[in-house]
């Protein structure tokens, strides 16, 4: 889940950093894949809140599909039901394969680690890493690239050994 940002300055800084961070993460992953025995493919995924049962996931999916053909009245009823159910948020994963081994890296989590100080998925809120923004309020590309490279290398280092 994305960290909560509690002030407008933090929002502005996150908006400045997220797209460049994503670009640097993807580029550094490409470089790692070029040097490793892993092959990777990118996938859109749905991230469900923890403890969401398979039955609830199926129900939400069915209701969302039903919205496409629902009458306006049916759509209102479906929206009311969905408002009481856990909803997934979109994610983007790199699925890695090497012989019989598989692994996955959550790209948004990696971007959050780049953009925020000491970010972990368990943390509800996090502070922007302001060292990635120069004194003019622009992205410090050298620092951003160095941090994203380091975090991508760490992610690959955690992959299963041969």
- Residue-wise pLDDT for 34-78, tens only, equals 999 999 999 999 888 888 999 999 999 999 999 999 999 999 999
Q: What angle do CA 64, 125, 143 make, to 5 degrees?
A: 105
**Angle formed by the axes of helices 8-35 and 141-157, to 10°?**
50
User: Range with the lowest mean pLDDT among 93-97, 120-124, 141-145?
Assistant: 120-124
Q: Please classify residue 24 by burial: count the beta carbons closer than 10 Å to its beta carbon, then call 0-12 exposed, 13-18 middle and 19+ buried.
A: buried
Look at residue 131 in the predicted model and tell me its pLDDT. Answer: 95
Cα dihedral 110, 112, 117, 121 sign: negative
CA dihedral 22, 26, 32, 38 (to 10 degrees): 120
Return the higher-pLDDT residue of 151 and 126.
151
pTM above 0.85, yes or no: no
pLDDT category at 129 given cuts 50, 70, 90 is: very high
Look at residue 115 in the predicted model and tell me its pLDDT. Answer: 94
Residue 54 in contact with residue 82, Cβ under 8 Å?
no
Look at residue 89 in the predicted model and tell me its pLDDT. Answer: 83
Tell whether the model's pLDDT for residue 162 goes beyond 70: no
Tell whether the model's pLDDT for residue 119 goes beyond 90: no
Look at residue 7 in the predicted model and tell me its pLDDT. Answer: 77
Can you tell me the distance from the alpha carbon of 58 to that of 49, in angstroms, rounded to the nearest whole number? Answer: 14
Look at residue 1 in the predicted model and tell me its pLDDT. Answer: 63
Average pLDDT taken over every residue of the chain: 91
The pLDDT > 90 percentage for the chain reads: 73
User: Range with the lowest mean pLDDT among 4-13, 63-72, 81-90, 123-132?
Assistant: 4-13
Token look-up 């983007």 returns 92
């Amino acid at each position: 889940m994305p960290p909560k940002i509690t002030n407008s300055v933090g929002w502005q800084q996150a908006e400045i950093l997220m797209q460049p961070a994503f670009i640097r993460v993807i580029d550094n992953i490409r470089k790692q894949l070029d040097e490793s025995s892993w092959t990777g493919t990118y996938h859109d995924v749905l991230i469900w809140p923890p403890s969401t049962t398979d039955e609830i996931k199926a129900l939400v999916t069915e209701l969302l599909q039903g919205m496409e053909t629902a009458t306006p009245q049916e759509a209102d009823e479906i929206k009311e039901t969905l408002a009481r159910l856990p909803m997934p948020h979109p994610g983007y994963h790199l699925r890695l394969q090497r012989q019989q081994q598989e692994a996955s890296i959550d790209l948004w989590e990696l971007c959050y680690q780049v953009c925020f100080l000491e970010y972990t998925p368990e943390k509800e809120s996090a502070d922007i890493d302001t060292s990635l923004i120069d004194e003019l309020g622009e992205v410090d590309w050298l620092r951003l690239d160095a941090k994203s490279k380091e975090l991508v290398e760490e992610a690959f280092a955690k992959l299963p050994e041969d």
